[in-house]
Amino acid sequence: MSWGLQNRLSKIIKPDTGRTVMLAVDHGYFLGPTNSLENPRKTIEPILNDADSLMLTRGVLRTSVDNNTSTPIVLRVSGGTSIVGPSLENEVITTSMEEAVRLNASAIALSVFIGSKHERQTLDSLSELVNQGERYGMPVLAVTAVGKELEKRDARYLALCCRIAAELGAHFVKTYYCDEFEKVVEGCPVPVVIAGGPKLDNELDALKLAYNAVQRGAVGVDMGRNIWQSKYSEAMIKAVRAIVHENASPEQAHELFIALRDDPKKVTLKG
């Protein structure tokens, strides 16, 4: 890994804990103004400083994030399809490497759809971006998304996806949590982060998800809806941080969540 690439990656995966809390707000690229992300600036601003990185498209970055932020940017560079179109998986590269450098991104992200009819095309895009990433010192995050046609998110399938992405040179991989998640991590030679998925019924369940993932080897989360669709997003992201960076149990993190919800000035797990 070149110095620049390693340096960029170390802005995201924190060297002191080897872990990361990435905040994903890229959902509008195929979902439009989804619930709680109708006004991205309003959603992002209160929780931006607690994120180790912010994952989003260039459109939302330019319009909704102040350019003096110190939070590293993970730029989504794939898209071009929608939830109402004929094939969500038919994604292409939407944003150039030059644009990513111009926007001072710390990494770029794209989705790959393994097992769909667009497998080849999306893996080609991954390979091309890795070639460019090596040239420019830009880490590439492969998002192993499961499209509409593929509902099977078991360890065998997700391990296959993560391993293929790593073999093609992805520098880190994002996937879903599943039973026997340790098998996904064991088979993947690069760091793995998990998506949170749709909003769970309560915050404790989302904290358990984050806890189980890091206990089974994930370096952290790239979480969206379970943070910003919570009525108490500021308390929630701090509770997720306690799990990822301080090895808090879900119950301890939930206590912190309740304390911060009731008194937002409280700042630490112990406080």
User: Between residue 179 and residue 238, which ones bind ligand 5RP under the rule CB under 6 A?
Assistant: 195-197, 222-226
The tokens for 262 are 């009731």
Helix (H, G, I), strand (E, B) or coil at 188: coil
Helix and strand numbers, DSSP H then E, in the chain: 12, 10
Residue 170 vs 259, nearer CB to ligand 5RP: 170
- Residue 2: CB minimum distance to ligand 5RP, A: 26
Helix (H, G, I), strand (E, B) or coil at 246: helix
Distance CA 146, CA 175 (A): 9
SS3 content of the chain, % helix, strand, coil (to 5): 45, 15, 40
If one counts every other C-beta atom within 10 angstroms of the C-beta of residue 186, the result is: 14
88 binds ligand 5RP (CB under 6 A): no
If one counts every other C-beta atom within 10 angstroms of the C-beta of residue 263, the result is: 10
In the stretch 27-66, what mask flags binding to ligand 5RP with x, by CB under 6 A?
x---------------------------x-----------
Residue 55 vs 130, nearer CB to ligand 5RP: 55
The residue from 174, 199, 208, 238 that is catalytic is: 174
Q: Which residue blocks in 26-143 are alpha helix, DSSP H?
A: 28-31, 40-44, 58-64, 97-102, 119-136
Residue 56 vs 166, nearer CB to ligand 5RP: 56
Residue 238 bears catalytic tag: no
- Residue 270: CB minimum distance to ligand 5RP, A: 28
User: Between residue 120 and residue 139, which ones bind ligand 5RP under the rule CB under 6 A?
Assistant: none
143 binds ligand 5RP (CB under 6 A): yes
State the residues that interact with ligand 5RP by CB under 6 A: 24, 26-27, 55, 111, 143, 145, 195-197, 222-226
Give the residue numbers annotated as catalytic, written as ranges.
Answer: 174
